[in-house]
Chain A
Amino acid sequence: MKRISHRHHRPTEARIREIDQLNRTLIACPACDSVWERPALAPNEKARCKTCHTTILTNKHRSAERTVAFMVASLLLYAVAISFPFMRMERSGLSNQISVIDAVAILANNSMVILALICAALILVFPLLRIILLLFVGLSLFRKQSTARPHALSFRLAQKLEPWTMAEIFMIGVIVSLVKVGKLADIYLGPAFWGMAALIVIMAFGASAVCRDTIWHDIRSAP
């Protein structure tokens, strides 16, 4: 049992150089553990593992710039998606207009706290957190600032959040619910609906602009 969780002291200079040297020559496949000589990639080239064909190294062209651009756009669209009315429903003279935040609040107020929390986390909190973290990391890489511990932690968290941001699944769910309600009431889509639709497209582009290998390489070999 060697649990040494209490300490997380900074590694020595010599150790950092040792690790950097090791990683300049070798690379391991995340999926099958095969070790290869680290290939030098041209922009937009990628390397696959010969054993299992998983992509082991990418070198996306101008990744930092594109990441920053998509994250700024995402942030603006996110603001639109949460602040404007999402949809309005009319039925026999009664009308009900909700924003995404209203929707979560309605669930929470009607003793559906678990469902409200799950939705709030997956649709609102995690996507926003991921956008902000990637913006932070992308900006400092873009401006060639020193990339140190806070960047490493931010990017680690951003990676962890990726499967747990479900705005795109929520949108499909909304479309299904529109079909279900369509027969009962008149539905009008608000600006936030289109904001959210644009957001999921831009976030998908943003996710594919992020080049993990470049970012980690920059953090690793930062002075």
Chain B
Amino acid sequence: MTTAKALGLARCPSCGTLTDRPGERCTVCGARTYTRRPNSLQRVWAFWFAGVLAYIPGNVLPIMVTQSVAGDSPSTILSGVIALIHHGSFMIAAVIFIASIVVPVSKFMIIAWLALSIQRGWSLSEHRRHFAHEAVELIGRWSMIDVFVVAALAALIQVGALMSILPGVGVNAFAMSVIFTMLSAMSFDTRLIWDGKPLGEEPQHGGD
């Protein structure tokens, strides 16, 4: 078993065509080719910090303001979940809680763990890290649910002066946080995980 890098080849990130001239544009699809994504971890961290920073106002500031004759009542993501529990909608509360709190927070932790494991050279299972990255890429987009909930409510509840729902500033921050985190996960070059795996000719102990 050998790698494309070891053979001086590069796989086009877009169309998968192998080229013997890494760095040039792919002759098939025109994408820039590389053996490893340039500055992969720097991009990961840059988007990661942007995502974490945006996540804070996304949770602290109201994502939605309900205006009625009784006055304005702002609600955050967490207070929305609590309100749903009070209504007895446990399933929906669980969906929102998982999509808006559990998934983003675990995404931040997993991406940081993956990037650190490469930078610090931790000898962890390649398969496990690879799986973690796949899971993050697959599930990450679903954090957008709450943004769409607010958009749908705000568009629908516009009935005169009786009651109306307005999106709060928090929802923009939250949406940006999800987008930045998706970009962070996409910037991670999974081949870095496997680069740490010793090749046949240099046996090492440990690993799996």
Residues of A within 8 A of B (CB): 2, 4, 8, 11, 15-16, 18-19, 22-23, 26-28, 30-35, 50-54, 87, 89, 91-92, 94-96, 98, 102-104, 106-107, 110, 112, 114-115, 118-119, 122-123, 149, 152-153, 155-156, 159-160, 163, 166, 169-170, 172-174, 176-177, 179-181, 183-185, 212-213, 216, 219-220
Contacts and interface: CB of A to CB of B under 8 A. Distances in A.
B159 A94 contact: yes
A50 B141 CA distance: 29
Contact of B145 (A27, A172, A183): A172
A213 B84 CA distance: 46
Contacts of B191: 31-33
A95 B130 CA distance: 51
A92 B68 CA distance: 14
A153 to B, nearest CB: 7
B127 to A, nearest CB: 7
B142 interface: yes
Nearest to B127: A52
A40 B170 CA distance: 52
Interface string B25-68: 10111110001000000000000000000000000000000000
Contacts of B19: 19, 22
B190 to A, nearest CB: 5
Interface in B117-159: 126-127, 130, 137, 141-142, 144-159
A156 B156 contact: no
20 contacts: A16-B27, A19-B19, A28-B18, A31-B194, A32-B190, A32-B191, A34-B2, A35-B9, A52-B194, A103-B156, A112-B154, A115-B151, A152-B30, A153-B29, A166-B141, A176-B96, A176-B149, A177-B153, A181-B153, A216-B28
B132 to A, nearest CB: 13
A34 B18 CA distance: 12
A156 B14 contact: yes
Given A103-B151, A169-B141, A220-B28, A110 B146 contact: no
Contacts, number: 209
Given A27-B18, A32-B193, A91 B152 contact: no
Contacts of B130: 31-32, 52, 54
Contact of A94 (B2, B162, B167): B162
A173 B11 CA distance: 38
B18 A8 contact: no
Nearest to A110: B166
B147 A163 contact: no
Contacts of A155: 15, 29
B154 to A, nearest CB: 6
B160 interface: yes
Residue of B84, B126, B148, B195 with most chain A CB atoms under a 10 A cut-off:
B148
A171 B41 CA distance: 34
Interface string B100-119: 00000000000000000000
Contacts of A180: 84, 89, 92, 149, 153
Nearest to B143: A169
B20 interface: yes
B144 A166 contact: yes
B4 interface: yes
Most chain B CB within a 10 A radius of its CB, from A4, A119, A177, A183: A177
Most chain A CB neighbours (cut-off 10 Å) among B24, B35, B158, B163 = B158
